[in-house]
Amino acid sequence: MNRDLLVFSAVLILAISLVVSGNAFLEAKKAENAPIDENLELQRALAYGEIQNVMAAHTYCYEAQKQAYEIENFWSKRDDISYGAQNVGREAVINYFVKTNDAAHKAKLKRMSELYPDEVKNIPENEGIGDMVIHLATTPYIEVAGDCKTAKGLWYVPSINVEIDQNGDPVPVTIWEKCDVDFIKEDGKWKIWHFTQWVQFAAPLNKSLVDGSFQLSRPFFSPQPLGGQEAGRQPAQQPVDMSQTKSKDQAYSTKRVADWRPGLPKPYNTWENLTSEVSK
């Protein structure tokens, strides 16, 4: 009888020990995983402010005409970056966003030095003369991926832009657009990956904002040839008829209903999951 009691007591103690040790193991695993999950949520929460800083840096660099600095410091180092649908790949983005703007700066400075030789010297320090680009990145709407590796953002961007024409006279224009931007995290920093502009309307400041007759034309802005192409092969930029509603342009018209382009970013877990959903 005593022997049976001893055996029963031993089995009971063993069972209790297993339960206690099992619970301890589960609690340890839970504690081990919790910092990871909490850290990921913290990183996602911090991402919203960091991404807005990157977008603000884009607007400030644009005003200072420091496109090369922007590409170097705030864009992804990947080869598949893009600036609009027509500039896909690192070489194409640098060609359009940096080299073409640099060429326009040189051409404008040359013209101004010819018109005002006593006031304007054709020296590198004066490149960018006659330009004023003020973009206001407003109403940020950002979705950070569940894995905190990528993000999508949408901004409304009203702007005031001034360039000179061939006579050296200022041409002030307001352009209102939406910027649809994808971001990717590299070495712990958020970087611009894909940048798309959806033009709402453009109008000179001396005309009605809803005057659809205005054509956006930049007299000194001609795309530079990509590597391997001969200079002069690419045609100069043609005027854009802002009165026509195109695939992305959304010019105001009394006969058109405001539409939903681009759509607000939706929550997603991974970039691969997002792109597979879009392709369906």
Tens of pLDDT, residue by residue over 76-125, are 999 999 998 889 999 999 999 999 999 999 999 999 999 999 999 999 99
In sequence order, the β-bridge partners of residue 164 are 170
Q: What percent of the chain has pLDDT over 70?
A: 71
User: How wide is the angle at C-alpha 72 spanned by C-alphas 70 and 75, nearest 5°?
Assistant: 70
**pTM score of the predicted model:** 0.76
* 271 inside domain: yes
* 11 inside domain: no
* 171 inside domain: yes
* 20 inside domain: no
Q: What is the pLDDT of residue 246?
A: 41
Tens of pLDDT, residue by residue over 235-280, are 334 444 433 334 455 566 777 777 678 889 999 999 997 765 543 4
Which residue in the block uniquely carries the two structure tokens 């005031």? 160
The total number of structural domains that make up the chain: 1
Q: State whether residue 203 is helix, strand or coil.
A: strand
Which pair of structure tokens corresponds to residue 196?
């798309």
Give CA–CA dist 153/55, Å, rounded.
9
* 18 inside domain: no
* 39 inside domain: no
Q: What is the CATH number of the domain that holds 142?
A: 3.10.450.50
pLDDT over 80 at 22, yes or no? no
With bands split at pLDDT 50, 70 and 90, how would you rate the model's confidence at 227? low
Q: What is the pLDDT of residue 228?
A: 45
Containing structural domain, residue 64: 44-278
Give CA–CA dist 169/219, Å, rounded.
12
* 35 inside domain: no
Give CA–CA dist 29/9, Å, rounded.
30
* 213 inside domain: yes
Q: Report which of 100, 108, 107 is spatially closest to residue 222, judged by C-alpha positions.
A: 100
- Beta carbons within 8 Å of 172's beta carbon, 6+ residues apart: 160, 161, 162, 204, 205, 206
Q: Report which of 77, 43, 48, 59 is spatially closest to residue 192, judged by C-alpha positions.
A: 77
